[in-house]
Structures are given as structure tokens and as C-alpha cells.
Amino acid sequence: MAAKPQVRNAPDAGPAPEDREKHPVDETLPPLKMLTSGLQHVAAMYAGVVAPPLIVGAAVGLSGTELTFLTGASLFTAGLATFLQTLGVWKIGAKLPFVNGVTFAGVAPMLAIVDTTENKADALPVIFGAIIVAGLLGFLAAPWFSRLVRFFPPVVTGTVITLIGVSLLPVAFGWAQGPNPRAEDYGSTTYLSLAGITLVVVLLLRRFTRGFVKQIAVLVGLVIGTLIAIPFGVTDFAPVTEADIVGFPSPFHFGAPQFALAAIISMCVVMLVSMTESTADMLALGEIVDRPADERTIAAGLRADTLGSALSPLFNGFMCSAFAQNIGLVAMTRIRSRFVVACGGGFLVLMGLSPVAASLISVVPRPVLGGAGVVLFGSVAASGIQTLVKAGLEKDNNVLIVAVSLAVGIIPITKPDFYHAFPETAQIILDSGISTGCVAAVLLNVVFNHLGRRQDDDDVTAPMEPGDEISGSRTAKAAHAH
């Protein structure tokens, strides 16, 4: 027994076993569980990664082969950015189970760049040049931007987390209605039934299974939903049969980057929006995995976001940002290991290098993804509500902050054309409910809880319970709130 202290105190000895307990974020899981859980993350984010390159590529007029190449490049760069975020290098990477991929915030300005470029062959090089500059500037600004974390108390983070979930739910509803909004069968009973069946399968698996199967309920639900969809003719295996086995996203495939001032300014605005959303996502994920994101973590995470974005055009990819839908997966499965998400990043890289592998995920019908998305995105909103419970909503100030911020954040969801009269640059920010709600929550928190704060500001004006004394009960509640 006497030898144990000597081993623990020896200069070259590591800590004792009881001192080496790892946080769940830093744990590695058994290989099978690691692989299937990582694949589940890929399935949850796949549609979001491939949609922007398909939209922009179609606007440029790329052929089917070039569109496949551009999509594979986005998967490849998303995997690299996810590696940076989860594994970390130097002071780069939040080292949280954080998935990165192509941000939707850049789609509208990229389409505007395409429209204003005379020679469409130059559109992608102009976009890539603007992303490189915006990424490098964002990387330099990350340490200063991260200091905003002091303005994110629970009343702000809870509001933003709730908004993330609520903002993503319409995406799931859109998936449930079918792949093509212009098709006659969009929103048909067949599509909605497949989404409903997938949702029920996931719920049944979560309710009646245990352990590993319960944790990969979403992945199993996607597989079962896809199999059920085959007799309905909804599952398309053509991408698998037509895809090449091996393909590498050769650098600057569409030409050397070009640097146009207007495009650079536009993408810098998108970068600010992306950094705001990533900050909110890191705060949300930190709460979910019980490792709150501090200023240093957010700075490292933003460096990974921005550096990943700056490097992405080298391999023909677009601006990268956090994927909020995967936060819902972490919240639901409670698998908090960042190495699981890194494994998902590995799958993304492999799919970028093997078009036929990438096409396997694309076989999953959109309605099936929509059914699973209801659970994933709803879980994010529920996590935000849990955080708000801790935020002191017995205070009128905090109730107002939440009420107004949620209203502002929901505007782009309920009225997509609400800001149509504003300049396009302003619409980039205003059309992001997460960004506008986040900014509103931060500003309102400063106004109500910091500027000119008085002792009586914490008094509540909520209805009293029967029998409460005006002078006694309300004062006691206010004191308890402190």
C-alpha cells in the first residue's frame, strides 16, 4: 500500500486512475458504437450540407457531373472543418461534439453574386475569393468576438437555444412534404405518412429499447423509413448506380479565386452572421453536454469555423459553420463524446473522396428525414426551455427579454417576406431568426439588467398566490430570487 503514494508523486508518473476520470465529452466509445453514432450525425446533417452547393451550382449552370463534384467537395470540406472543431489544433477548435458544414446564411448572397457576374464561369471563383478573405478576417477577429460571451447569461442562452430549435422545425416540415416544392405531389398524404411513420418508429425505439439501440434510434428510424418508402417508389437508387467509386476534389477545380470588393463585403456580413450563430450554438451545446463554453472555448471554436471557411474554397467548398440540428441529436441521445462527431467528420471526408459512398446517404427520402427531424429539432427547443427554467423568469425583466426576443426571432419563420423592403445586405442578417433573436436578447439584457440597474428592478409583478401579503410575500419572493 505504501508504494501507491510513491507512484503518484513520482515526477514522470501520470495521475492515479481515480484522478484520470474523463469528462463524457472526452471519452472514446467502443468501435461499433462510435461508427454507428458518427454515421447518425452524418445522416442528420447530410441534407443541409448538400443543399447549398446544389442550389448555387444550378444557378451557375453546372452540369450533372459538375454538380456531383461540387457536392462531394462540400462534404469533404465539412469533414475537415469538423475535425478542426472536435479534435482541435493549437488554439483552434472548441473540442466539443460540434459538427461543421456549409452554412445556409451564404446561399442568398452567393446567388446575388451569381446574378451580378456577367460571365457565369467566373461566379464560383469570385465567390471562393470572397469566402477566403471573409474567413481570414473572421479568424483574426475571433478573440475579440468571443468576449461577447459575458453578454450571454441563461436568459439569453435559453432564448437563443429555443430559437435554434424553433427555427429548424420548418426545415423538418419542408422535408416531410417532399423533395420538390414545385411538384404536384408536394405535401401529399404519401410523403406525410412516411414522415409520420418514421417519427413513430423513432419514438417507439426511444420508448421501448435500451442502451445502444436506444441511442441510435434516429439512425435505425431512417433505415426503417427508407425501406418502407421503397414500395411507394419514393426511394431513388439512381445516384448510387451512377456515382464513381473514387473521386478527389482537385484544388481550384473551377478556376483560381477572384477578389471582387462587393462580393467580399457581402460575404464578410455573412461571416458575422455565421459567427453569431456559432457562438449561440456553442453556448447551447456547452449547456447540453455539461461543459459550459467559456470565452476561450468560443474563441477556439470561432477560429475553427473561420479557418475552415478560409480553407474550404481551396477544395471548392463554401463557408462553413455550426450545424444546429446535430445539437439536437446530442441532446436526445446523450452521447456527448466529441470523438463520435469526429468519426462523423471522417465519414464526411470519405464521402467527399468517394461519390458512391456519398450517394448512399442521399438515398434516404426527404420525408423520412423530415420525420426524424421533428425529434431532433424539437429536442433543441426543449433544451432551450430547460435553460430558461434556470434563468429566473420570476423577474419581469427576464420575462420581457424572452418574450420580445422570441417574437423578433420568429418573424422570419412566420413572415418570410417581412423585411423585403430592406437592402439585400440587411436582409442577410434580418432573415436569420437566430441572429436577430440573439442580438435582441443581448441588447435587451443589457438595457434591463445592466444599464441604470436599481435594487427594486428585481421585484416581480406576477399575480400573487391566494393568501399572499403584499408587503411580506412579494418581498420574500424577490429576496429568494437573489
**CB of 342 closer than 8 Å to CB of 39:** no
- Between CA 363 and CA 229 the distance in angstroms is 10
Return the higher-pLDDT residue of 7 and 301.
301
Task: Give residue 425's pLDDT.
Answer: 67
- Phi, psi for 442 (deg, rounded to 5): -65, -50
Mean pLDDT across 212-239: 83
Return the higher-pLDDT residue of 279 and 273.
279
Task: Say which range, 37-41, 78-82, 241-245, 304-308, has the weakest mean pLDDT.
Answer: 241-245
The model's confidence at residue 246, banded by pLDDT at 50, 70 and 90, is confident
**CB of 437 closer than 8 Å to CB of 451:** no
Mean pLDDT across 444-469: 60
The label of the residue with cell 429568494 reads 480
Angle, helices 154-177/261-288, rounded to nearest 10 degrees: 110
Return the higher-pLDDT residue of 315 and 323.
315
pLDDT at 307 over 50: yes
Task: Give residue 190's pLDDT.
Answer: 93
Mean pLDDT across 355-369: 77
Task: Say which range, 95-99, 158-162, 356-360, 386-390, has the weakest mean pLDDT.
Answer: 356-360
pLDDT at 205 over 60: yes
- Phi, psi for 291 (deg, rounded to 5): -135, 80
The label of the residue with cell 427579454 reads 401
What is the sign, positive or negative, of the torsion defined by CA atoms of 249, 62, 420, 183? negative
- pLDDT 10s digits, 313-322: 999 999 988 8
Task: Give residue 477's pLDDT.
Answer: 42
**CB of 234 closer than 8 Å to CB of 190:** yes
pLDDT at 149 over 80: no
Task: Give residue 406's pLDDT.
Answer: 94
Task: Give residue 464's pLDDT.
Answer: 38
pLDDT at 236 over 50: yes
Mean pLDDT across 146-165: 80
Mapped onto helix, strand or coil, the DSSP state of residue 2 is coil
- pLDDT 10s digits, 82-103: 999 999 888 898 899 988 888 7
Tell me what the pLDDT averaged over the chain comes to: 81
* Residue 466: other Cβ atoms inside 10 A: 5
Task: Say which range, 100-109, 124-133, 192-201, has the weakest mean pLDDT.
Answer: 100-109
Task: Say which range, 296-305, 363-372, 449-458, has the weakest mean pLDDT.
Answer: 449-458
* Residue 158: other Cβ atoms inside 10 A: 29
The model's confidence at residue 108, banded by pLDDT at 50, 70 and 90, is low
Percent with pLDDT over 70 in the chain: 85
The label of the residue with cell 442521399 reads 362
Half-sphere exposure of 58 (CA within 13 A, CB side): 6
Mean pLDDT across 190-203: 94
Task: Give residue 465's pLDDT.
Answer: 42
pLDDT at 440 over 60: yes
